[in-house]
Amino acid sequence: MRVSFDVGAEQYDRFMGRYSVPLAAEFADFAGIATGQRAIDVGCGSGALTRELVERLGADRVSAVDPAQLFVAAIRERLPGVRVDLASAEALPYMDSQFDVAVAQLVVHFMAEPLVGVREMARVTSSGGVVAACVWDHTGGRGPLSMFWDVARELDRSVQGEARRAGTREGDLGPLFEAVGLREIEESSLTVDVGHPSFDEWWEPFTLGVGPAGRHVAQLRSDDQARLREACRARLPSAPFVISALAWVARGRV
């Protein structure tokens, strides 16, 4: 099932942007983003990777899509000159072979049909071009939300978290790329270190209703929210502390 985001870009930035912004630069390096390319950011969200692409290529060389209207509106305001379309990864509104590189940062695990989404990315990429994707290590316990989901499951065994989604474990992305006919596939991992000055600065964005974690917190009763909050506090080191977040990455050529 596709996960939709019905929160504003500012809320997303406060929750996941603190990790996705530093990841974007590393991911763009891995994808081989270079001057002169035409790039499409699939599932652009609030624009962490889109902005990185614009800084490297120029707004007129970058397109972006997202199925959330609030995110599309935010990118249009934040990054004038970028073509931004309201669309899902599974139905990209572009012609075949239109881009030199198609990238999806922290998106594959939210696609309703990951295979279809990656196939669409390959379709709109020219021969010899690059398709690349990355997903947090939700299954191996090294993603930025891993500790949160561990604690949530300890308090409620019915909680599933995000560990069963496509791309969240080592070696997941390669087979998807192979299945759509990509070649010269390379898989690796990227790690970002994010400092948090206080526990409250780390916790407060979980209350904004962003993504599966935010929705989990929002549906809890106030006393259960407090239990979860204090259990997380007990698990984390004393502030200030650093979260090291790992993402699995893959790239292939069309």
Ranges of residues in the chain with a pLDDT under 50 are: 1-4
Specify the pLDDT at position 2.
Answer: 47
Distance CA 85, CA 124 (A): 14
Q: Answer for the pair 24, 232: CB distance below 8 angstroms, yes or no.
A: no
- This prediction has a pTM of 0.94
- What is the rounded CA–CA span in Å between residue 12 and residue 72? 13
CB atoms within 10 A of CB 204: 13
Q: Looking at residue 6, what is its pLDDT?
A: 66
Summary mean pLDDT of the chain: 95
